[in-house]
Structure 1
Amino acid sequence: MSSPSIVIEPLAQRGKLRWQVRMGRRSLIFHQEQAARAFAAQMHMRLLWLQEHANPDDEFAPPGKSYE
């Protein structure tokens, strides 16, 4: 199983352009595109780090890495 994808989408809200960062069912809205991109990049790096350092015996380890 792979980790959830991180998606950045433009969003029109009250006549202004906002940026929504989604990961699965969760989302955050930013006023600036640069802030949304920086957050998405940081989240992506943290997810990769978690997958690399996950303990195979840990029941809470993130999905996406096979230990067989």
Structure 2
Amino acid sequence: MNDQQLTPKEQKVIEAFEAARPGLGAIAESNIRNNDKTGWAEIIADTPESELVVREGSSTNSFMYKRIGG
């Protein structure tokens, strides 16, 4: 696992996942740090800051969930 310091955008993603559901922040951080396998850090780096927002929506099965991104 990569122990490199997280960028502000990566930290924002982790915090948003954790706020959506406790425990998801650790999973998001793991995915970011394992970028060579997941690509998460590259995706976050390529995503404009304005698009890193939490939104609520509904899926086709009508459950409500929090979403990160567009």
TM-score (norm. length: structure 2): 0.31
Which one has a bigger Cα radius of gyration? 1
Q: What TM-score do the two structures reach when normalised by structure 1?
A: 0.31
Flag the structure with higher helix content: 2
